[in-house]
């Protein structure tokens, strides 16, 4: 089973020192992976997609 993440988990993956609002801005960028589901409680993403996005950003930066 694929591991899923929401905004709180993505915040932790990015270091935990960002506001939830900032994470929402980051996840709405065109280059951020598309959520696999949009729920009333918020969007969810595949963890592996977010991890790959973070790795690519770190390599480029």
- Stated pTM of the model: 0.91
pLDDT for the residue 27: 97
In Å, how far are 8, 10, 54 from 14, measured between CA atoms? 10, 6, 8
Q: Given pLDDT bands bounded at 50, 70 and 90, which one contains residue 1?
A: confident
Q: What is the arithmetic mean of pLDDT over 32-54? A: 97
pLDDT the model gives residue 19? 94
């Amino acid at each position: 089973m694929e591991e899923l993440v929401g905004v709180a988990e993505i915040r932790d993956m990015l270091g935990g020192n960002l506001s939830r609002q900032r994470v929402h801005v980051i996840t709405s960028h065109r280059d951020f992976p598309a959520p696999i589901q949009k729920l009333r409680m918020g969007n969810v993403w595949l963890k592996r997609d977010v991890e790959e996005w973070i790795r690519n950003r770190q390599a480029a930066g």
